[in-house]
Amino acid sequence: MQNVDLQEIGLRDLNAMLHEQSSDTNQTAWEIDNPKGAHAIACGLDAPIEVTVKGSTGYYCAGMNKQATVNIKGSAGPGVAENMMSGKVVIEGDASQYAGATGHGGLLVIKGNASSRCGISMKGINIVVHGNIGHMSAFMAQSGNLVVCGDAGDALGDSCYEARLFVRGEVKSLGADCEKKEMRPEHIEILTELLAEAGCDANPEEFTRYGSARNLYNFDVDNAAAY
């Protein structure tokens, strides 16, 4: 176990050490003490290491993550796991705005609540939120899965493409071109696997699926008011 006190070593040196790790490293486990809400902790990782941040973080923690597992033992500021490519990010507390934005792959788990714009423009990432999410979540979501075990705020899935949105609770309102979808056996299978991987014991049968109505893929003057 590599233990680092962020207040002693500084953010730049910490991230440099993490970036030096390669696929065949034997320094696979890292603990970071005293994060104190610092921004950009453990950004740009590209090695199969596990990093545990013992406290809450600021902006863009674990952004652009590849291969690594990042555990946040607190809450996360805006943009956590932004543009994530692979690996896993687990937040024990809440997440602020645009968690998992533009993510291409991997799994983001939020054990508390997520704020507004969770999963905007997601491009293949899987996001599981144990609690609620805020307004404009999954805006322009292109692919991947957003799983919400609680409630969703206004304008869920506005202008989304082919992402799958699963909500267990209430949805305050759906965004433009987002609609309720049939829950088929293949969706139950996807949801079952994601819930298990995220450590959530929710019943997949209790979720409703939402997705694109596909009316905004091409401009149609009859739909002009919806653009």
Angle value at C-alpha 45, between 42 and 49, nearest 5 degrees: 90
Structure tokens that stand for 225 in this block: 């008011």
**CA 160-161-163 angle, 5° bins:** 85
Domains belonging to the chain, first-starting first, are: 2-226 (2.160.20.60)
CA 148, CA 168: separation in Å to the nearest integer?
6
* CA distance linking residue 106 with residue 143, whole number of Å: 12
Record the tokens describing residue 130, joined without a space. 């144990």
**Quick one: average pLDDT of 10-19?**
95
Residue 16 predicted with pLDDT over 80: yes
For the cut 60, the answer to whether the pLDDT of residue 163 exceeds it is yes
Reported confidence tier of residue 219, pLDDT bands at 50, 70, 90: low
105 pLDDT above the threshold of 70: yes
pLDDT, greater one: 192 or 225: 192
Q: 63 pLDDT exceeds 90?
A: yes
Query: Rounded mean pLDDT of 15-43?
Result: 94
Distance in angstroms (rounded) separating the CA atoms of residues 223 and 116 = 26
Residue 40 and residue 77 in contact, taking contact as beta carbons nearer than 8 Å: no
Summarize pLDDT for 114-147 with one digit per residue, the tens: 999 999 999 999 999 999 999 999 999 999 999 9
Say what the pLDDT of residue 175 is: 97
Interatomic CA distance for residues 223 and 165, integer angstroms: 23
CA distance 74 to 162: 32
Question: Alpha-carbon distance 42 to 109, whole Å?
Answer: 16
Q: HEC states along the chain? A: CEEEEHHHHCHHHHHHHHHCCCCCCCCCEEEEECCCCCCCCCCCCECCCEEEECCCCCCCCCCCCECCEEEECCCECCCCCCCCCCCEEEECCCECCCCCCCCCCCEEEECCCECCCCCCCCEEEEEEECCCECCCCCCCCCEEEEEECCCECCCECCCCCCCEEEECCCECCECCCEEEECCCHHHHHHHHHHHHHCCCCCCHHHCEEEEECCCCCCCCHHHHHHC
pLDDT band at 23 (very low <50, low <70, confident <90, very high): confident
Residue type, 116: S
Among 39-48, 102-111, 209-218, the range scoring the smallest mean pLDDT is: 209-218
